[in-house]
Structure formats: C-alpha cells, structure tokens
Amino acid sequence: MKKKIETPKAPKATGPFSQAVVDGNMVFTSGQVHLTPEGKPLEGSIEEQTHQAMKNLQAILEAARVSFKDVVKTTIYVTDISLYGEVNEVYGSYMSEPFPARETVCVKELPLGARVEISMIAVKS
C-alpha cells in the first residue's frame, strides 16, 4: 500500500507530488534542489547547493525510516556538465560502499533556477 512521507525538515512539496512515497519496502524520493526546509532558495556555490539537496534527502529518508545506506539508485540532474566533479565530490561524502547505482544527466534547466537536482530510491531492510 502506497504511503506519503512528509517531514518539516525538508522543503514542503508544493505541487501534485510528495516528498517521498513508500510502497512495500521501497522508498521513492522526489527530486531535491537547493531549497532550505523553509522553502527558500539557498544561494551559494554548487557545492553548497548540492549539500542542501543531500540534507533534504537525508531528512526525507529518515522520515521514511531508511538512510543513505539503504539507497539502491540515485539520479542526478545538472544544468552544466562541467559541474559534475564538484557535485560528485559532495554526493560521495554522504554515500558509502556499496555505492548505489546512479546516472548523472545534463539538462537545459531545472525548477527554481536550481543547478542540481537529486532523487533516490531506497529499499527497507
């Protein structure tokens, strides 16, 4: 049965979507960008914006009773592929072996002027 996940420790979902959905033992997060939990865009470097997206994801995963160690798949969108190294370094500081499967996709634009957006799929043990 599908269950909506919500936490005040991450930006509120403002459209027809949830911060995350749990179905069985699977957790699917919505993409997270550089918004603070209060919904304000975090100005700053790509590293700072990536940290904010990862902090949002961490809070959402915790609300679903999983952690980064349970993530099996990550999708990262960037608006400039030259940012790959900086994003990858920050992302890697949150993750550990065995690393999730992942793709990084370069796109023309992201919502709210974001330069990076990250979504995850986790499996509850």
pLDDT tens-place string over residues 49-94: 999 999 999 999 999 999 999 999 999 999 999 999 999 999 999 9
Q: Which tens digit of pLDDT belongs to each residue from 13-46?
A: 988 999 999 999 999 999 999 999 999 999 999 9
Q: Does pLDDT of 125 surpass 90?
A: no
Q: What's the rounded Cα separation, in Å, for the pair 79 and 99?
A: 23
Q: What is the pLDDT of residue 21?
A: 98
Contact indicator for 84, 78 with CB cutoff of 8 Å? yes
Domains of the chain: 2-123 (3.30.1330.40)
pLDDT of residue 52: 98
Question: From start to end of the chain, where are the E strands?
Answer: 2-5, 20-23, 26-29, 71-78, 101-106, 116-123
